[in-house]
Amino acid sequence: MTLVHLLARHPGVELAQLTSRSFAGQPYSAVFPLLDLEGTFRSEPELDGIDVVFSCLPHNVGASKAQAWLDGGARVIDMSADFRLKDAAQYPVWYKQEHPAPDLLGKAVLGLPELHEQELKDAQLIAVPGCYSTASILALAPAVAAGVVGSDIVVDAKSGVSGAGRSPGIGTHFSEVNESIGAYAINGHRHLPEVTQELGSLNANGLRVTFVPHLVPMTRGILVTCYFDLKGSLAELNETYMEFYADQPFTKVLAQSPTTKLASHSNLFLVNVAAQGQKAVVTGALDNLVKGASGQGVECFNIAFGFDRTTALEMPVQWP
Ligand SMILES: NC(=O)c1ccc[n+]([C@@H]2O[C@H](COP(=O)([O-])OP(=O)(O)OC[C@H]3O[C@@H](n4cnc5c(N)ncnc54)[C@H](OP(=O)(O)O)[C@@H]3O)[C@@H](O)[C@H]2O)c1
């Protein structure tokens, strides 16, 4: 939903086809009543003349289709986990099946513009990172790259229910989640290998990350609270973050700890650096449907197709 709304207002985009198996044959207005879009949903894309495919399928579904889309001449921006990990051996561990197109893993560029802007310019296959991963990596990258982190990092993460997508399920049923909060995937969440892969590429000193997500009864938003032993002073750490993100349009270092509402409906990642003694406490917030998914996908598209990085992503502040 969010991706189509963003692309519909992009001045350089013509939405040539929208696909859906559930709505195949129905008009676009059945799903997007507020958009002035003419056409009917197809079950599969017709590649003739298509420059880019945005794939928003569940993991394990789009992986076997991507090669055909690339062969058809389209660049591919994949929102799922299918091409995020470089090591094919990780897929059976985290996604319970062999990767159907392991040769493509080396060609995929992780769609995190703060770290990979140059590679994204020529990328044919872009793997947009997960919502938790985006928040965790961006919250920790400056400190890890600067080598001021002790070996153990703890990430306490909280997400709104839209992080689980639109498909109904017991775990996201209103009466199950309303007025309740709980941790899940305590033994290891699928976004953890994305976080360790990216942080490991910034610093090879064998970091250990403990990542625990929580489901919070709100519609959208992710908050990560990251703890690590700090080498150096808090003032130096803050300066490190300010410098690292100085030229980034969507990542802002705040003097106050961010809230999910402050980032809501925007493509922003908001981060604050604090400490209790020598224990650093870095908090970061984003909207999982925008910077955590669709907005970041459009940001990658802008880079790959030569548009200004902020095109279609400058939103008015939504507060409260
Ligand atoms: N929600 C988030 O915050 C978020 C953040 C980052 C990344 N992502 C990732 O982005 C992707 C899309 O997320 P979402 O939240 O839009 O998920 P979603 O609401 O579950 O939508 C996925 C859609 O894929 C189609 N689909 C489901 N099973 C399928 C199958 N076996 N074969 C073909 N199509 C199938 C369905 O649409 P039709 O029936 O209409 O075809 C389904 O509605 C996922 O990989 C997700 O992990 C989500």
Q: Tens digit of pLDDT for each residue in 236-272?
A: 999 999 999 999 999 999 999 999 999 999 999 999 9
Residue among 128, 155, 158, 157 at smallest CA distance from 144: 155
Q: What is the pLDDT of residue 317?
A: 84
**Ligand 1 pocket residue status of 130, Cβ below 6 Å:** yes
**Ligand 1 pocket residue status of 2, Cβ below 6 Å:** no
Task: Determine the atom of ligand 1 nearest the C-alpha atom of 293.
Answer: 6
Q: Which residues make up the CATH 3.40.50.720 domain(s) of the chain?
A: 2-129+291-304
Question: Taking the domain 2-129+291-304, which CATH number applies?
Answer: 3.40.50.720
Mutate to test the pocket of ligand 1, among 167, 194, 286 (most ligand atoms within 8 A of CB): 167
Q: What is the pLDDT of residue 320?
A: 86
CA distances from 68 to 46, 64, 65 (A): 11, 8, 6
Pairing of the two strands 108-110 and 125-127: parallel
In sequence order, what are the residues at sequence separation of 6 or more whose Cβ sits closer than 8 angstroms to the Cβ of residue 15?
4, 7, 8, 37
Among protein residues, the one with the nearest Cα to ligand 1's atom 32 is: 61
Going from the Cα of 56 to the center of ligand 1, the distance in angstroms, rounded, reads: 5
Q: What is the pLDDT of residue 204?
A: 81
Please state, in angstroms and rounded to a whole number, the distance separating the CA atoms of residues 252 and 275: 18
Q: Which residues make up the CATH 3.30.360.10 domain(s) of the chain?
A: 131-288
Helix (H) or strand (E) holding 90: helix 90-95
Q: State which residues of the chain have pLDDT below 50.
A: none
Question: Any idea which architecture 131-288 has in CATH?
Answer: 2-Layer Sandwich (3.30)
Mutate to test the pocket of ligand 1, among 21, 260, 265, 291 (most ligand atoms within 8 A of CB): 21
**Ligand 1 pocket residue status of 294, Cβ below 6 Å:** no
Kindly state the DSSP code that residue 53 receives in the 8-state scheme: E
Q: What is the pLDDT of residue 210?
A: 97
Q: What is the pLDDT of residue 1?
A: 92
User: 3-state DSSP call for residue 215?
Assistant: strand
Residues assigned a catalytic role: 131
Look up tokens 């600067």; give the residue. Answer: 146
Task: Determine the atom of ligand 1 nearest the C-alpha atom of 130.
Answer: 6
* Cut 0.95: pTM above it: yes
CA 137 from chain center: how many Å? Answer: 10
**Ligand 1 pocket residue status of 112, Cβ below 6 Å:** no
- Which ranges constitute the DSSP H helices of 107-205? 113-120, 131-146, 174-177, 192-202
Report residue 289 as tokens. 């449907």
**Ligand 1 pocket residue status of 25, Cβ below 6 Å:** no
Q: What is the pLDDT of residue 205?
A: 84
